[in-house]
Amino acid sequence: MNGILVVTETGLNGLHKMSLETVAAGQQLSRELGQPVSAAVFLTAPLSAKLDRVYRVQHDLLSAYTADGYTAALEALIHQADPAVVLFPHTYQVRDFAPKLATRFGQVLISDIIGVHEGKWRRQLFQGKLNADFLPQPGTRVFASIQAGAFRADQLEAGAAPEEIFSPALDPSLLRQKPEPPFRESARAVDLSAADVIVSVGRGIKEQDNIPVVEELAKALGAELAASRPICDNGWLPMERQVGSSGQTVAPKVYVAVGISGAIQHLVGMKGSKTIVAINKDPNAPIFEVADYGIIGDLFEVVPALVDEVKKARG
């Protein structure tokens, strides 16, 4: 066992953006450990990075993703390449197969990591309220998936790598999932990414009948109204207004998070906003880790007061 293998993901339009972050993480780890780093790439997505090797994983049965197909192919590649560390981007697809792959090797995937320091792999617990450092047993192969944004794609060391075709022996009967083509539910009527100001509402709003409280604020600020996932799950606002890993990614001038605790699935969708305002009754809510301005208090008192003050300022 030696070296780092980065398993990249190919999306509908080439490499998934988190793939490059993961390659950057692999390069960093390679420098720290003084070990070689290689990458596995499915399909024909181009990758130009300074690596010791790129494995082009190719097989007719891998043209559409299946958990069974990807697991079998990567199991064979890991046996051949024998890496000490296998890194993945923590995408929905990786969540679907990487735990299965790690199980084949008797290991536990350390999922959604935000950093690695001196052999300790750091990840979040309790939806971001706490962090934890995990220690793999010495001498065992590490499988870890990397949270979006934890490493930066612009830190990627560009360059070239010798390429090798890897064609695993796959039996069609192995692939039990029969995927149909991906689709989008409906054309998105709301493009939140174009908004300068977004007022976003979370569980703190308590019930559907309270939604007008934040609608008023959005109106006063000339903002788009958005929400965290649970609000859309409950049908209180349409799914197309959801911000986060399963919704839209936004980076407005101002993002006002009202009653949103700031679970990671939400933060990844908005932490690029220029100014973040958090209104929350819990001073320990993870949203305050990314907020520029915070008001700790009951949103049902703060938001109406804010609406008045905004109207006053607008004259």
Residues 200 to 239: which contact another protein by CB under 8 A? 203, 221, 229-230, 232-234, 239
Q: Binders of another protein among 14-73, rule CB under 8 A?
A: 66-68
Least distance CB 100 / another protein (angstroms) = 4
Nearer to another protein, 43 or 161 (CB): 43
Question: Which tokens go with 76?
Answer: 């064979």
Among 199, 201, 245, 260, binds another protein (CB under 8 A): 245
Least distance CB 43 / another protein (angstroms) = 16
Binding mask 152-191 for another protein (x = CB under 8 A): ------------------------xxxxxxxxxx--x---
* DSSP structural state of residue 286: G
Q: Binders of another protein among 85-144, rule CB under 8 A?
A: 91-93, 95-97, 99-100, 102-104, 106-112, 120, 123-137, 140
82 binds another protein (CB under 8 A): no
Instruction: Give every CB contact of residue 180 below 8 A, 6+ residues apart in sequence.
Output: none
Sign of the CA dihedral 223, 228, 232, 236?
negative
Least distance CB 53 / another protein (angstroms) = 27
Sign of the CA dihedral 127, 128, 130, 136?
positive
Nearer to another protein, 81 or 123 (CB): 123
Give kind and range of the element (H or E) at residue 218: helix 211-221
DSSP class per residue in 98-119: HHHHHHHTT--EEEEEEEEETT
**Rounded CA gap, 263 and 296, in Å?**
18
Q: Residue 296 — φ and ψ, nearest 5°?
A: -95, 110
Nearer to another protein, 28 or 249 (CB): 249
